[in-house]
């Protein structure tokens, strides 16, 4: 077929055929690399199968993946529906972890507890995707507000002292 033949498709669902005449060899290797990852191969194996040298393949995360991000993003877009992505993020906002309790090596009890770390990460992801970017650490959103909070305490020995310590009407 030569240079006018068509290459393999990027993904299994909603595949797009590319014309080899429109692609340079480096771009073809990148497409084959992403295809290998989508087939479940390790980055190193996908790189070797795509035609990269073993030395380059060992550094695939650093040397190859940055150049393939747009191809990978398009492949993900073709494979993952917005509904599935939204449902997965929503489920992550309800994340729980199972804690196991053991005595002498035997599990005696297990409990599901809220996984605050996972929920925080999913919250940040959802906020970012929805356009609500959280403030960077150390930034005070009220830093420019011009107001003071003054708390007045009655002098010691005043009749209000008992009410302040015990609550109103106590």
Q: What is the mean pLDDT of each run of 10 residues along the chain (170 residues)?
A: 37 42 80 92 94 92 89 88 91 94 92 94 89 67 56 62 49
Q: Is residue 53 part of a domain?
A: yes
Q: Is residue 133 part of a domain?
A: no
Q: Is residue 129 part of a domain?
A: no
Q: Are 68 and 34 in contact (CB under 8 A)?
A: yes
CA pair distance 72, 25, nearest whole angstrom: 17
Name the residue among 94, 97, 89 with its Cα closest to residue 124. 89
CA pair distance 170, 167, nearest whole angstrom: 6
CA pair distance 29, 49, nearest whole angstrom: 9
Work out how many domains the chain is built from and give that number.
1
Quote the pLDDT of residue 76. Answer: 86
Quote the pLDDT of residue 3. Answer: 34
Q: Is residue 36 part of a domain?
A: yes
Q: Is residue 14 part of a domain?
A: yes
* Tokens representing residue 108 in the block: 């005696």
Instruction: List, in sequence order, the alpha helices (H) in the chain.
Output: 25-38, 43-50, 54-58, 60-63, 65-79, 82-92, 116-129, 160-166
Domain that holds residue 21: 2-80
Q: Is residue 9 part of a domain?
A: yes
Q: Is residue 32 part of a domain?
A: yes
């Amino acid at each position: 077929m030569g240079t006018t033949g068509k290459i393999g498709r990027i993904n299994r669902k909603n595949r797009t055929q590319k014309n080899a005449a429109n692609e340079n060899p480096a771009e073809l290797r990148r497409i084959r690399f992403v295809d290998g990852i989508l087939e479940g191969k390790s980055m190193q194996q996908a790189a070797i199968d795509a035609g990269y040298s073993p030395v380059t393949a060992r550094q695939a995360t650093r040397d190859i993946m940055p150049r393939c991000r747009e191809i990978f993003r398009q492949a993900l877009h073709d494979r993952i529906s917005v509904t599935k992505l939204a449902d997965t993020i929503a489920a992550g906002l309800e994340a729980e972890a199972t804690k196991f309790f053991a005595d002498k090596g035997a599990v005696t009890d297990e409990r599901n507890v809220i996984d605050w770390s996972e929920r925080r990460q999913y919250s940040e992801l959802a906020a970012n995707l929805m356009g609500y970017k959280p403030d960077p650490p150390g930034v005070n959103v009220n830093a420019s507000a011009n107001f003071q909070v003054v708390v007045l305490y009655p002098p010691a020995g005043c009749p209000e002292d008992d009410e302040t310590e015990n609550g109103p009407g106590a």
